[in-house]
Structure 1
Amino acid sequence: MGLRFTVLASGSTGNATIVQGDDATVLVDAGLSVKKIEELMRERGVAGHHVDAILVTHEHSDHIKGLGAFARKFDLPIYANEATWGALERHVGQITADKRVIMETGETVNFGGIQATSYAISHDAAEPVGYVFDDDDVKLSLATDLGYVSDKVRLMIEDSDVLVLESNHDVDMLRMGRYPWNIKRRILSDIGHLSNEAAGEALCQLMTDRTKRVYLAHLSLDHNLMDLAKLTVNNVLESNGFFFRKDEFPLRDTYHDRPTPWDEVKKR
């Protein structure tokens, strides 16, 4: 079967993604209330008791809001590196020792045939990570909350069958927006978020003949629009020699308030 996944929600209001293999279901981040996570999961035919583990990217509230409560409700192990555990523990309530799993950055863990590998990213958190999922010859990469795409990140996520990549903001919308300058400066920095243009530039290096689809994720509600993000990214790709027919257009939407359709990442 390979892998299949659904981005339950993506953005500053909350993030959560389900990744499934033949014998395991993994939740990446739990940045919404338990009620909302369960509601979004039901829309895709998944229940909390189907989940085998939760992987955490970093400790910001839009990634861990419902983490502790969801893990306790369904008696789930939480995987995060030691620095992230140190930063999030006071926010998630009591987690028993057997459910508090250290997964250091760069480590690979097998979940019922799904190989999950974490990799370091640049963001203003304790030790933030992204995740790459492999099932035999299939590769799915999740890459959001990136200040920039370093060479090490590129080596981890290039040549993915499917890539979920941050396209957080339009730079002009952000500069003219209502945020105070210190927040704007953080977002624009190397420990902030990828702009639409930066996402397009990154894709020029990340996409190969193997790449089937790219999901644009973690869009700002205040400083971006999905149509604008897709237009900007596509323009950058075209200016660098990537051209697609409309029926082959590889860019896909994510949403802050509803899940994406199931996407099966099949073997080549």
Structure 2
Amino acid sequence: MNRKMGLRFTVLASGSTGNATIIQGNERTVMVDAGLSAKKLDELMKQQGISGHDLDALLVTHEHSDHIKGLGAFARKYNVPIYANQPTWDALERHVGSISQDKRMIFQSGEELHFGSMRVHTYHISHDAAEPVGYTFEEDGYRLGVATDLGYVSEKVKAKIIDCDALVLESNHDTEMLRMGRYPWNIKRRILSDIGHLSNVAAGEALIELMTDRTKRVYLAHLSQDHNQMDLAMLTVNSIFENNGIFYKREEFPLRPTFADRPTPWDELGRQ
């Protein structure tokens, strides 16, 4: 029997209403964020043939509710350790309820974590949270980047997520939809700022630099429920590709959607 190699992942849900992603390596399974109720997370995981009992760790990007809504209840139900940096722990403490001391795992942003043979690179991102982070996963030479809630893609962030086999990248809003939308101006200004969210155009421009011959798929993630549409996000990003002389055959088109209410299909990176 061939040994399983590499990584596989599914974005359980992504958007302004809640975010969670499962990553499986050869020996360990982790989840990034738990921004839906524990009941909903159970439902979505069941659809993908796994459960909370399969998880070895919960990794937190930051303390906003669409990333930690079900964190405490889910972690207690399945006795899963939670990993976050100290400023994030301080900010989320009152929102997650009682977590036993042995399940509170603290790392320094920029530190490399290890789960079996899976290596997880942590890095600072620009967002209006205590100390938000992104994650890049690596195993058997395969790389997956997960980067959402970015005000902008800094050179340091680019260095962490460039040349991945697959990338989950924020494409939060269409700028004109946001400007014309119902939000008060102070919230619009926050979203548009360097500590807010990445627009469709900003995502496309970043991808021009981030994608290499190695990059097979990019999942556009964390779309605003009010100020974006997946078709528009994909059209905008693809237009930026074409304006930069990058054209894809239909069967090779690298962009993939994520969904607020259902998982993406399992994506296999080097698995047999």
| TM band (smaller chain) | over 0.9
Matched, 1:76 2:80: yes
- Which residue of 2 is the match for residue 86 of structure 1? 90
Q: Work out the CA distance in 2 between the residues paired with 1:13 and 1:81.
A: 23
- Structure 1 residue 123, shift from structure 2 partner: 0.2
**Which runs of structure 2 are paired with 1:32-71 in the superposition (5 Å)?**
32-71=36-75
Q: Work out the CA distance in 2 between the residues paired with 1:156 and 1:117.
A: 8
Matched, 1:23 2:27: yes
Secondary structure of residue in 1 paired with 2:122: strand
**Which runs of structure 2 are paired with 1:4-19 in the superposition (5 Å)?**
4-19=8-23
**Which runs of structure 2 are paired with 1:228-243 in the superposition (5 Å)?**
228-243=232-247
* Matched letter for residue 46 of structure 1: I
* Matched letter for residue 58 of structure 2: I
- Which residue of 2 is the match for residue 126 of structure 1? 130
- Structure 1 residue 242, shift from structure 2 partner: 1.1
- Structure 1 residue 117, shift from structure 2 partner: 1.3
* Matched letter for residue 203 of structure 1: L
* Matched letter for residue 75 of structure 1: N
Q: Work out the CA distance in 2 between the residues paired with 1:210 and 1:22.
A: 21
- Structure 1 residue 2, shift from structure 2 partner: 0.5
Deviations 1:174-232 (CA, angstroms, capped at 9, x unpaired): 00111110110000000000000000000011011110000000001111110000000
Q: What residue ranges of structure 2 are gaps of 5+ in the alignment?
A: none
Secondary structure of residue in 1 paired with 2:152: coil
Secondary structure of residue in 2 paired with 1:149: coil
* Matched letter for residue 224 of structure 1: N
Q: What residue ranges of structure 1 are gaps of 5+ in the alignment?
A: none
- When structure 1 is superposed on structure 2, of 140-149 and 238-247 the one drifting more is 238-247
- Cα RMSD (Å): 0.7
Runs of 4+ in 1 over 2 A off after TM superposition: none
Secondary structure of residue in 2 paired with 1:118: strand
Matched, 1:224 2:228: yes
Secondary structure of residue in 1 paired with 2:121: strand
- Which residue of 1 is the match for residue 218 of structure 2? 214
Deviations 1:47-101 (CA, angstroms, capped at 9, x unpaired): 1101111000000000000001111111111000011001001110111111000
Secondary structure of residue in 2 paired with 1:242: coil
Q: Work out the CA distance in 2 between the residues paired with 1:27 and 1:124.
A: 22
- Structure 1 residue 266, shift from structure 2 partner: 1.6
- Structure 1 residue 30, shift from structure 2 partner: 0.3
- Structure 1 residue 238, shift from structure 2 partner: 1.0
Q: Work out the CA distance in 2 between the residues paired with 1:104 and 1:9.
A: 27
Normalization by structure 1: what TM-score? 0.99
Matched, 1:180 2:184: yes
Normalization by structure 2: what TM-score? 0.97
Q: Work out the CA distance in 1 between the residues paired with 2:120 and 2:74.
A: 21
Matched, 1:255 2:259: yes
* Matched letter for residue 68 of structure 2: I
- Which residue of 2 is the match for residue 114 of structure 1? 118
Q: Work out the CA distance in 2 between the residues paired with 1:46 and 1:18.
A: 10
Q: Work out the CA distance in 2 between the residues paired with 1:133 and 1:222.
A: 31
